[in-house]
């Protein structure tokens, strides 16, 4: 996740350079771009993960908020909690202490182990389904021969 975080950070920073110099994004723009609900964006704001500025009743998200949102969504996809994602963002932004950095590395290793276990279980399930499918196909062919 650590190198992934850096890659996302770099990619989003590069994307910001190509965003037509746009410095602020509305909630609707980010919602459409990332395929998340307005409610999800407000939830991340409530949790302190993104901090839009206010222009009256309108929320205006910065490039940094946009980058953090990309990291939040990637972290969620990889199975991290919002608390763990917050720590990883702090590490990337340079605001984390050494204890948080060590914890982030430990959490990454734990998540790798968990995902590898889930992958093995999925592969086992797929193998079993292939075996069952082959048996059913054989039985169907035998039945067709008997009735045909």
Q: Residue 88: which domain range?
A: 2-110
Burial of 22 per CB tally in 10 Å (0-12, 13-18, 19+): exposed
Q: What is the CA radius of gyration of the chain?
A: 23
Tell me, yes or no, whether 41 lies in a domain.
yes
Tell me, yes or no, whether 116 lies in a domain.
no
pLDDT in tens, the chain (148 residues): 555 555 555 555 555 544 556 789 999 999 999 999 999 999 999 999 999 999 899 999 999 999 999 999 999 998 899 998 988 888 888 887 777 777 778 888 998 999 999 999 999 999 999 999 999 988 877 766 676 5
Query: Residue 85 sits in a domain of what CATH number?
Result: 1.10.1660.10
Q: pTM of whole model > 0.75? A: no
Q: Please report the pLDDT score of residue 11 as a whole number.
A: 58
**Distance between CA 59 and CA 146 in Å, rounded?**
70
3-state secondary structure of 47: coil
Structurally, the chain folds into a number of domains equal to 1
Which region, left, alpha or beta, applies to residue 35 given φ > 0 means left and ψ of -120 to 50 means alpha? Answer: left
Tell me, yes or no, whether 148 lies in a domain.
no
């Amino acid at each position: 996740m650590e190198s992934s975080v850096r890659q996302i950070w770099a990619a989003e920073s590069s994307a910001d350079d190509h965003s037509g110099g746009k410095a602020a994004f509305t909630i609707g723009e980010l919602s459409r771009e990332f395929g998340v609900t307005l409610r999800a964006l407000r939830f991340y704001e409530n949790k302190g993960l993104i901090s839009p500025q206010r222009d009256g009743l309108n929320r205006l998200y910065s490039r940094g908020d946009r980058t953090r949102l990309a990291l939040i969504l990637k972290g969620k996809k990889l199975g991290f909690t919002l608390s763990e994602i917050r720590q990883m963002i702090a590490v990337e932004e340079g605001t984390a202490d050494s204890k948080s950095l060590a914890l982030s590395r430990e959490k990454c290793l734990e998540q790798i182990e968990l995902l590898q276990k889930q992958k093995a279980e999925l592969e086992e399930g797929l193998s079993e389904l292939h075996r069952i499918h082959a048996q059913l196909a054989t039985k169907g062919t035998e039945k067709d021969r008997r009735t045909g």
